[in-house]
Amino acid sequence: MGPPGCNGGPVTVASHETLTAFERHLRLERGRSANTVRAYVRDIGAFLDAADVRDDADLAAVGLADLRAWLGTVSRRGVARATIARTSASLRTFFRWCENTGRVPVDPSLRLSAPRRHRTLPGVLAQRSATALLDVAALAADDADPVHLRDRAALELMYASGIRVGELVGLDVDDVDLHSRVLRVVGKGDKERRVPFGVPAGEAVTRWLDAGRPALVTAASGPALLLGRRGRRADARQIREVVHRLLAEVPDAPDLGPHGLRHSAATHLLEGGADLRMVQELLGHSSLATTQIYTHVSVDRLKRSFAQAHPRA
């Protein structure tokens, strides 16, 4: 039996019905993203198959020892700690739902724990490197190639607002208020938020809308803000390639993707004195703890600067 994500035997009809109901709960009631729903359902399907759960009676007989044994099996397969942590979260979510819906009398996962994920500090650009990257994008856009105009608008928006690349490519033209310089962003769990952006990003988007998008738009474009050369909505892969390509032209800059621009925007906001909760709202984090990782980046830089500059360091 493979760990979550590997191929296993088929689950029974009864288990399949339970999984279908659980998938519906995650998608419709919890508002989880499509990727999260797929991962959780895959995790639970693998567990039910390995535990030979065939009906609700088998499900009710599952105990904490069974869950711990399954996590041990997954761990021995050599998967990443993050995968083990996610599997544990899948089991807890599933059995809490089973208890709430009367499928089990008691949630056996209440005392289930998993190894904590290593929280690594995100890679970020120095402010001068971020400025240099946007200068490179602006210089490339001087040739008036519509795709280069799009690339500049994309980078300016990502750095100005800290939005995810998936949120960026999901923007429609009407989601951009150029007068107020505010984006309407639909993030994880279909949660909507308003995110401001600055004058340079507004100028880049205006130029794209005036001179770039009209040159690429086709009947297949729909309302998409950013387009590819064939007129269809740009995808995350295209924007990721742009970020890597243009960053390669910035001396001493790390090779970061779009998420690196998001990290950089958050870090530079905090370094500039922005309130942590304001940054949380801008980034669309559901938990303040997720945003707090950027304070570690800022403090780390502050300590390095202190060590270099203070005579008593």
Give, as one character, the DSSP assignment of residue 302: H
- Whether 46 and 8 have beta carbons less than 8 Å apart is answered as yes
φ, ψ for residue 195, nearest 5 deg = -130, 125
- How close are the terminal C-alpha atoms of the chain, in Å? 56
Using DSSP's 3-state secondary structure scheme, residue 194 falls into: strand
Residue 298, Cβ neighbours under 10 Å: how many?
Answer: 17
Structure tokens, 291: 């945003």
Which residues are known to be catalytic?
A: 164, 188, 259, 262, 285, 294
CA 172, 226, 140, 257 torsion-angle sign = positive
- For residues 47 and 132, the answer to whether their CB atoms sit within 8 Å is no
Whether 267 and 261 have beta carbons less than 8 Å apart is answered as: no
